[in-house]
Structure 1
Amino acid sequence: MFCVLFIRRKENVVRFMLRLFLLILLLQPMPLLLGDAAIYQNDIIIPTYGVDKPDPNPRFYAGRVYQGAQGRIYPYPMSDVLTNKKEDKIYKAVTLENDYIKISVLPEIGGRIFEAVDKTNNYNFFYRQSVIKPSLIGMLGAWISGGVEWNFPHHHRANTFMPMDFLIIENIDGSKTVWLTEIERRHRMKMLIGLTIWPDSNILQAEFKFFNRTPFVHSFLYFANPAVHVDTTYQVIFPPEVEYVTQHAKREYARWPIADTYYGGFDYKNVDISWWKNLPKPVSFFAWDHTSDYFGGYDHGKDAGVAYIADVFFAPGKKFFTFGCGDQGQMWDKMLTDTDGPYLELMAGAYSDNQPDYSWIQPYETKTIKQFWYPIRDLGGLSFANLNGALYFEKNGQKAWLNILTTKAYEQTNVTLTVDKNIVWQHQANISPQNVLQAEITLPQQIKTTDIVISVHTADGKELLSYQTVARAGASMPEPVKPPARPEDYETAEELYFTGLRLDEFHNPQMESYPYYMEALKRDSNDVRVNTQLGILYCKRGMWQAAEEHLQRAVRRLTTNYTRPKNGEPHYYLGCALCALGKKVNAYDAFSRAAWNFAWRAAAFYELALLDCLQQDFEKALQHINEALIVNSLNTKALNLKTVILRRLERLDDAIKTNEQTIAIDPLDYWALNECAEIQKIVASKAIAKQAHLACAKQMQIDPQLYLEVATDYGNAGFYREAIEVLKRSPVTDYPLISYYLAYYSHLVGDEAVAAYFVVHASTMPHDYCFPYRLETIDVLNYATEQQPQDANAFYYLGNLLFDLQPDVAIRAWEKAVALDPEFAIAFRNLGVAYSQTCNDIPTAISFYEKAIDINKKDPRYYYELDVLYEAANTEPDKRLELLKKNKKTVAKRDDALARLTALYVLTGDFDAAIKILTTHHFNVWEGGGDIHDVFVDAHLLRGLSYMRDGQNSLALADFQMADQYPDNLEVGRPIYDQNAGRVAFFLGQLYEQLDQKTKSQHFYQIAAAHETRDELSFYQAMALRKLSRQKEADALFDRLVANGNKQTKSNEDIDFFAKFGQKSQQNSRLARAHYFIALGHLGKGEPDLARTALASAQELDINNPWINYYAELLSTENKW
């Protein structure tokens, strides 16, 4: 391993240099020897569609729903501008290869497996892209399909399109491993992935270690996301005991594999949903309630597929997703690849069986899991698989077919079929990954399939495979998840606590947990569980005083009558709060009390060791850190701290051993690598120590966050000089936080002159992309603002850090920043965000945005965000349009801004201008989005209606027909239930009626009448029914529109508990739509006065809805429609 290669004593310099040279050789392509495994780096040239530089504006949380959870972006920048321009790009791949398989990994694209080939038949058992073609699917925007994606701690993780650090290892047993790692910024947890192959096997192993490197509990989701090529012959194979599949969030279920219900809005009754060809729309299926370790997919046309294996008790997630074989899927094929065709995702989860489905990981806990994949061939399907091999068995009468593949080569394997322990068939064969046993068997009469046991043993009697067909249990369909009730509707504080906790655990984007906790405290202000959870939440937000208050309540209740508590959690988190408040003595006591409880010994003793180090009491620190490691031996932070303590105590042999122990757990632990170099400074020459630091820096590359992470690890334990040295080695010289931290740590060691220099130096650096996120940074920036009160940048950074945590404090910081620097455009923009989201003060927010644009007219995002606020404020469309038209060149740089300009052209009646953009510009659409197609439809329908009123019927016909199209440049495929088609059909019916072409008119009215729709579109179905003299059916729909509108005017809620994408809409816009529904209902019933009244109410709330305006104008000149 990398750092272990460094020498322990000076006399080993020659051996050290030789091993270092060998390590460097490993990074070069090496020839593959027969029967061996190889690992090497190689260049791959891949045509690549570009992604523009990330947005420099921090994107704070505004209720975005992403993959059913909170779609938080900060502290990352958003990368959502795609260039759609293709050029060849060289990628550094890491390739693992043996006689059976070849695996290529792209560390610079999230560590994604790019290629996985079964060399025995040249089958890509994972989807192999011929291009890198990003689309807007990732949490931060750009995302590619194909290969295998790794997702922790959220689905389509933030770093999925960003580089991962990696290290190549040759293992003693001849296997080869590439380790990949990242520390994600949102929760500061770490993922380590080890991809391994062996010389004699076709298995790919993925070993995962998830490190919670923080003092706080977190929840996480993990899914591997392998993609596979699919066609009409592709089938997904869940274990035979699976009787049901479920949706995201377990909100509905269907039978497997022959469905019997509507699912995902589509009628799958009597459809075999295991076949891709039967899935016409985007859909997900999660296997429910199974006990097997395996599942897979099989391409019957190619007679090849892939098998997946993992311990079902810890890796229960088995899911597949497809965009479907219909128009929507075909559109996604065009968006994600050039020529490689459709794909399907065979996702596999650990500690998760759904999305969203989150599990807890405690402070400093490490969770591990291993997953395995291997290609299968010539089986005809898949009945069973384990790590030794796979088989397919089929019986028809007395005839049976048995095909067996093993993951290694075995000679003279013994295959038997037994019934009641009596052998009914046996065979001996050589079986391997490329030599499949295929047998046709004649069985005795009256043998049931479920009575047959198939066994495969090696020549020396070791069992490889054992399979017996499972009889289904006939379980009843599970109950779907129900959304939470209102807090006041729960009977007990316990229910309120668990409801709030689940919302926290699942990062629910639609509902806050705080109302449930507050309702519980109304009933019992000292409830231990609720106060503890609130304390944890406030700790995570850096609100230490509030955290202490709630945690003290919990502790007082627990220790009433001098009781020694059974639960150490409140004491532990009280220690965290007290420590942050500078109450170290009290914190020491709280941690010590928490350590009485076994569940909290590891975390509490680690915190005690930190406090000991702050006091320079290294002997006591060593005692406490050893106690922590007895309970949690995988806590690499504890091991690293122990290494530092031993080094400081000059127990160098023990320090080296501990350092090696850490690196054995995580060969890419940057703190451990740095400690390795620190030890070399003592036991080796300066040259060797320098090489060690260079090697560490090579692994950390140019990411300033990694240097800050290691520095804070040192700094939290009081090792400020080591922290300073780490920061000074950062190759990034213009990242402000490096200098601010250097100033702060220099101050803590008493070097005030150096501290003063770095404070000033930091203030002069560019502020773009400086998005602080560590709670430790609060003290650093507060120190900077105290020392340099005129530093507007420091206040800006502090506001960035705190806005999602403590918005009121953030607002004050930004207000200070703009007071100090009246030309600070991005700070004014941030104030616009804050006053709209936090204060709901839209006019003030607008004024801040207008100021930001006055200062910086070149940022297209400003125009988009300001226009959203203008719309929320019901600003006149002409004013909105004037601003965007005046700055059209800038606006056109972002699709979201250009889409708003296009919509405004429609709103103001300039349909030609809108349609010109809609037909000439390529819009990149987010998954779950597609509003730009609605603009396209509105433009053509409204222009067509205008032509029809003027008697230009041929032009009207062309527009109505275009409104039914789905152009490629808008990246929206026709949905299986096209809600818009009924409206288009109705207008075509009207047009042909105006032309006295009754047959065509009736034809289109029939289409519209048969088209069941929702919301306002049901108006057109009803109107078509009326045209067909089906008045009773029409009136029912009109009445429903009025009833639904009235209901929505009385509701303040816009909560879709199961939403997967999107954001909440503005209250005024929702109410305006409700009045619009009422108006349409009255209009259809021939009640124009009531319709006018409702439309006036709608326009008062929202003058920016083109259809509200259309019908209001229509009724202003006509008394009926």
Structure 2
Amino acid sequence: HIQYPMRYAAAHGFAEIQTWPLEASGKDLSIIKNQTDGPVSLFVHGSREDFMGIWNPHSNTGTAHFARYNELPAKKIWSWGVDADGLDWRDALSDDNSAYAEVQGGLFRNQETYSFLQPRQHIGFSEYWMPVREIGGISRANLAGAVNLERKNDSLLISLNVNQKFFGATLRLLDGNKELFSERRELQPEKTWTKAMRLPDSNRKYTFELKNRDGAVVLKQTENEYAWMDDSQIKLGPQANYVIPPEKFRTEDDWLQTGDTQELNGDKLAAMATYKKALQRFPTSFALHKASGRILCSLQRFEEARDLLAAAQARNTTDGELSYYLGMALEGVGKDSDALDAYEAAARMPQYRASAALRIAQWNARQGNFREAENFVAVSLAAAPDDLRALEMQVALDGALGDAQAEKKQAELLLRRFPLSAFLREEAGVPDLAHLAADPSRVLNIAAQYARLGLFAKAVNVLARDYPGVPSDQHEPGVRPPQENPLVVYLLGYCHEKLGESGASDYARASKLSTLYVFPSTSEERAALEAALRFNDKDVTAHSLLGTWFFARAKSADALREWQAASELHARIPALDASLGWALLHEKRDTASALTAFENGIATDPRNELNYSGATATMAILGKSAAQRVKVLERFPDLTTMPVPLVYELALNRAEAGDFSGAISLFQNRFFGREEGGLNVRQVWIEVRLMEMLALAKSGRCGEALAEAKTIGQPMEGLPFTQNGLEPFLNSPRTDYLLAQAYDSCGEKTESLTRFKKVAADTELSNLSLAADSAKRLDSYDRNKWTELLESGLAKAEEQSSRGNSKAWWTYLAASLRMSLGQNELGQTALRDVFLLPDTRMAHHLARLALVGNLNLP
């Protein structure tokens, strides 16, 4: 039972408000067994209560959550529900088919709402999770305990768990101000207190009260009374939320909000593209220049950022944020003196004084002006006394000034405040070698901090160590120790060069190390890779890693230059050809070269899933046949260990090629896991069976086809996933549509028309193309009505395709709607665009069918 103190609940995105616990159809959603329509994902609305909880009546146990409303106001419940898919998730997520629900708290009213937390800012809140047992439910919970008030005929059963010992506690039951019961006793967390009270008037509400020995009320609850908003303040149904319009109708603020949201979601490349488009529409916008420059700095695209930020600063020289990012951009392009001017301007503004002063300190330290650097660190600490990075720099500068004793002592003192600082442990002379060995990025981070201060000898000490091995459960799979990480060794060579020494041996050693799970990200790592290539421009490892650095910042031309250089040197580097193919396909739209790269990747890196998915997507764009795609997929070294997404792809492609027995064989002797938002094996299974049935019908083998139609949903021996959970896919409009086609081909006109009518009646956006094609087969077909529906659906689908999730699916829907409207050329172009997006909901398969006109799909 979901025991949240609310009468109303909000949907995701605050799109709609509904009653709770009874929803529109009368189902009580607080009881999980009633959630028969799928997952329940709702947010508390209209309640200012501090607690929520969930209760299992079978075990008489539960969990309560408490957080003060003024600190953490939002509450959410998530449950998988008890429809076929929800029950399947129980099997996937547990060993005993048990369910779970998520009791979530948050700062904002829903999961779609975010805010920026700037460097050196923090938000503090406390939340408490409390076990509850043997009290029958949760009427109220706080730090003192949890109480349940339950009516039984004309009696009130009071049950209490406490979270701490109470000596001399007072328990009372009140009727208004009139005391009906009072008891003084000791309470302990391990014991449940219960009391059944006969009520003088069952129509009145009664209040339970718990006081501590000092007489302070620590827990109080009146039956069914909570801090709820008045009903008059609640608007049920769809909410009037502002929706950002399509691009051609957006205002400057719309563009800024879109980019801002993308940044908040961590999608920096999308934000960069958004701001770039916006500047084309509003080229004089100060806010867009600033936002675009900021995101470009974040992506270390300093050359482009410099011009945008300089233009903006010319309009407002008092903007500290603008000056700070301009300093970063100028420093990034080697204009140190100009960068210093910008940082000094930023440091004059309170909000950026701490950050800018640190940048100035680093610049001075790199010039050898350690005393001046220390002065600026002091300025930074005056503005932000608890900033760890500034304190770490202060310690390192003590050592640079020759006071090793002060350096060590201060590091030891600070470690008491910041025990997780690997840099301070280094400065104190007690590095945690096992901790550093588990993740080379920790070593790289410490070395980079030293390098930014010009302390290259200290960086060398960290980078040159022979770190111990650590157990496999203490590091990420496939990650090698730091001394076997090429970035660590390249940076070591770079630091040796900065000390006037040779980095040749380091560069040579790094070039022979594996690049698996190695992802360069910092300016120091880029500088080290470029230094290695100046030493040896035929270093394929450095070329490959530098290409990765560029591609992560959408600098595709630079990435391709580096990857192609490595490829031309006949490098056999894992993921190189996959990366090259991906860039050629997505950035250059050079499908022929992309396919060559993917096929080379299959030869050199045969277990890399991207080589196969990339090759099949490219082949679909090029119009290659299903049989040709099957041959590529079958190059996987061992089909029994093929990743599940590729199994689905091979099964669907075999079915498209007419090899149904080959497709069905792939489902045997294999475990199909579930992934949230991923493809369900049952959907692929039903699709293959439907395609086989329709192929039989169209080839005149109607007896077999109609027999298949009747048994398509029956369990099959050796295929556990067919035992349950097929209903959502058997009862889908797509299944009805394909069955209708089969019955039509076999002369079963009555059954065919019945199913076409059923499909035509479902005009939900995902099914609209099928509905329109079905309607054409009916005498009641109204062209104008369906044209209007299709055009409206197209606008909605294209808007959805420009947003976040399932872009391939929405792009496919938009393309199919265009085809239904007779816009064949535009539709086919859009169908090919589907293959440039990550596959969702079988969109690639459906787009392939639509492109070749198979199954008479619209």
Per the shorter chain, which TM-score range? 0.7 to 0.9
Deviation (angstroms), 1:1049: 7.7
For the structure 1 residues 937 and 526, does the alpha-carbon distance in structure 2 shift closer, same or farther, using more than 3 Å as the test?
Answer: closer
Distance, in Å, in 2 between the alignment partners of 1:1064 and 1:946 is 27
Q: 1:782 to 1:523 in 2, by over 3 A?
A: same
Task: Please say if residues 483 and 1057 of structure 1, whose CA atoms lie closer than 8 Å, have aligned partners that are also in contact.
Answer: no
Match of 1:703 in 2: 439
Q: Partner of 2:650 in structure 1?
A: 901
Match for residue 737 of structure 1 among 467, 479, 487: 487
Counterpart among 152, 159, 170 of residue 403 in structure 1 = 159
Residues 621-680 of structure 1, C-alpha deviation per residue, up to 9 Å, x if partnerless?
333323323333332222211222234445567545643454344322211221221xxx
- The Cα shift of 1:758 comes to 0.6
Q: CA deviation at 1:361?
A: 2.0
Deviation for aligned residue 1:245:
2.5
Question: 2:264 aligned with 1:505, yes or no?
Answer: yes
2:547 is matched with: 799
Using the alignment, how far apart are the partners of 2:650 and 2:799 within structure 1?
A: 27
Which structure has the highest strand share of the two? 1
Q: Which residue is equivalent to 2:345?
A: 593
Mapped partners of 1:986, 1:524: distance in 2: 50
Give 1:1072 deviation, angstroms: 5.5
Q: CA deviation at 1:1070?
A: 5.6
Q: 1:257 to 1:540 in 2, by over 3 A?
A: same
1:1103/1:1109 contact within 8 Å kept? no
Q: Which protein has greater RCO, CA pairs closer than 8 Å, 6+ apart?
A: 1
Where does 1:347-366 land on structure 2 (aligned, <5 Å)?
347-349=104-106, 351-366=107-122
Q: CA deviation at 1:304?
A: 1.3
Distance 2:73 2:725 in 1: 34
Distance in 1, Cα, partners of 2:349 & 2:698: 80
For residues 872 and 1065 of structure 1, what CA distance do their matches in structure 2 show?
A: 16
- SS of 1:400's partner is strand
Range moving further from structure 2, 773-782 or 606-615: 606-615
2:310 pairs with one of 538, 542, 552? 552
Amino acid at match of 2:95: D
Is it true that 1:245 corresponds to 2:5 in the alignment? no
CA change 1:461–1:1098 in 2 (3 A) is closer
- CA 1:599–1:837: 2 relative to 1, 3 Å: same
1:636 alignment partner in structure 2: 388
Cα distance, 1:833 vs structure 2: 0.5
Shift in CA distance, 597/311, structure 1 to aligned 2, threshold 3 Å: farther
SS at the partner of 1:333? helix
1: distance between equivalents of 2:109 and 2:413?
A: 33
Q: CA deviation at 1:701?
A: 3.8
Is 1:384 equivalent to 2:140 in the alignment? yes
Distance change in 2, residues 1:718/1:890 (3 Å):
farther
User: What is the distance in 2 between the residues matched to 1:497 and 1:989?
Assistant: 48
CA–CA separation in structure 2 for the residues paired with 1:994 and 1:810: 53
- Deviation at 1:305? 0.7
Report how far residue 831 of structure 1 moved.
1.7
Could you tell me whether the CA contact under 8 Å between 1:985 and 1:1007 is conserved in 2? no
Task: Report the CA distance shift for 1:287/1:873 in structure 2 as closer, same or farther (over 3 A).
Answer: farther
CA–CA distance in structure 2, aligned partners of residues 593 and 1019 of structure 1: 59
**1:328 aligns to 2:85 (yes or no):** yes
- What are the superposed Cα offsets for residues 895-917 of structure 1, whole Å, 9 maximum, x if unpaired? 22232222122112222221222
Once the two structures are superposed, the pairs formed by residues 526-675 of structure 1 within 5 Å of their partners are: 527=286, 529-559=287-317, 565=318, 567-649=319-401, 655=407, 658-660=410-412, 662-675=414-427
| Cα shift at 1:771 | 1.7
Residue type at the aligned position of 2:395: T
1:503 partner amino acid: Q
- AA at the equivalent of 1:944: M
Tell whether the 8 Å contact from 2:769 to 2:816 is kept in structure 1 after alignment: no
Match of 2:197 in 1: 441
CA contact (8 A) 1:1045 1:1076 kept: no
Secondary structure, counterpart of 1:600 in structure 2: helix
Deviation of 1:599 after TM superposition, in Å, equals 1.8
Paired residues in the alignment total 824
Measured after TM superposition, the shift of residue 796 of structure 1 is 0.6
Task: Name the CA shift for 1:1051/1:422 in 2 (closer, same or farther; >3 Å).
Answer: closer
Alignment pair present for 1:519 and 2:267: no
Q: Is the 8 A contact 1:417 1:454 kept in 2?
A: yes
Offset of residue 794 of structure 1: 0.4
Cα distance change, pair 634–319 in 1 and its aligned pair in 2 (3 A):
farther
Native 8 Å contact 1:736 1:767 kept in 2: yes
Task: Report if the CA contact (8 A) 1:511-1:1057 is conserved.
Answer: no
Counterpart code for 2:211: H
- Of residues 787-796 and 403-412 in structure 1, the stretch that sits farther from structure 2 once superposed is 403-412
Equivalent-residue separation in structure 1 for 2:416 and 2:510 (angstroms): 38
The separation in 1 between residues aligned to 2:363 and 2:398, in whole angstroms, is 16
Residue 263 of structure 1: aligned partner: none
Residue 244 of structure 2 aligns with which residue? 484
Q: Say if 1:612 and 1:814 are closer, same or farther in 2 by CA, change over 3 A.
A: same
User: Which runs of structure 2 are paired with 1:836-915 in the superposition (5 Å)?
Assistant: 836-857=585-606, 859-885=608-634, 889=638, 893-915=642-664
Q: 1:513 to 1:661 in 2, by over 3 A?
A: same
What residue number does 1:790 align with? 538
1:510, 1:1057 within 8 Å by CA — same for their partners in 2? Answer: no
- The residue aligned with 2:476 is none
Q: In the alignment, which residue of structure 2 is the partner of 1:685?
A: none
In 2, Cα distance between equivalents of 1:743 and 1:333: 53
Q: Aligned pair in 2 of structure 1 residues 742, 864: CA closer, same or farther (>3 Å)?
A: same
Q: Which amino acid aligns with 1:819?
A: E
Structure 1 residue matching 2:798: 3-state secondary structure: coil
SS at match of 2:157: strand
Question: Mean alpha-carbon deviation: is it higher for 427-436 or for 735-744?
Answer: 427-436
Shift of residue 747, structure 1, vs aligned partner: 1.2
Name which of structure 1's ranges 980-989 and 727-736 shifts more when overlaid on structure 2.
Answer: 980-989
Match of 2:459? 723
**Whole-Å separation in 2 of the counterparts to 1:779 and 1:367:** 35
Give the Å deviation of 1:257.
2.4
Residues of 1 paired with 2:335 and 2:856: CA distance? 70
What is the aligned partner in structure 2 of residue 1055 from structure 1?
800
CA distance in 2, matches of 1:486, 1:1020: 26
CA deviation string 1:309-367 (max 9, x = no partner) = 23434433422222211211221122223225222222333x45533332212124444
Partner of 1:285, secondary structure, is: strand
- Could you list the per-position Cα deviations for residues 357-408 of structure 1 after superposition, in whole angstroms to 9, with x for gaps in the alignment? 3221212444444332120112222122222212223468974333222111
Q: Deviations over 1:102-141 (max 9, x none)?
A: xxxxxxxxxxxxxxxxxxxxxxxxxxxxxxxxxxxxxxxx
1-structure distance, mates of 2:602, 2:641: 16
Name the structure 2 match of 1:766. Answer: 514
Cα distance change, pair 741–997 in 1 and its aligned pair in 2 (3 A): closer
Give deviations 1:1076-1113, integer Å, cap 9, x for gaps.
Answer: 5358xxxxxxxxxx9x9999999999998575589768
5+ residue gaps, structure 2, are 468-480, 834-843
Tell me which residue corresponds to 1:464: 218
1:757 corresponds to: 505
TM-score by length of 1: 0.66
Give a deviation string over 1:756-786, Cα, whole Å, max 9, x none: 2111111122222222122321111111111
Distance 1:987 1:446, change over 3 A: closer
Q: Normalised by the size of structure 2, how large is the TM-score?
A: 0.85
**Local SS of the residue matching 2:55:** strand
Q: Which residue of 2 aligns with 1:374?
A: 130
**Does the 8 A contact of 2:801 with 2:807 survive in 1?**
no
Mapped contact 1:871–1:1104 kept (Cα < 8 A): no
- The answer for the alignment partner of 1:288 in structure 2 is 45
CA displacement 1:64-92 (0-9 Å, x = unmatched): xxxxxxxxxxxxxxxxxxxxxxxxxxxxx
User: Partner of 1:81 in structure 2?
Assistant: none
| More displaced stretch, 1045-1054 vs 619-628 | 1045-1054
Give the letter aligned to residue 275 of structure 1. Answer: I
5 Å-filtered alignment, 1:39-438, equals: 235-238=1-4, 240=5, 242-260=6-24, 269-280=25-36, 281-288=38-45, 290-339=47-96, 341-349=98-106, 351-394=107-150, 399-418=155-174, 423-438=179-194
Alpha-carbon distance in 2 for matches of 1:502, 1:833: 27
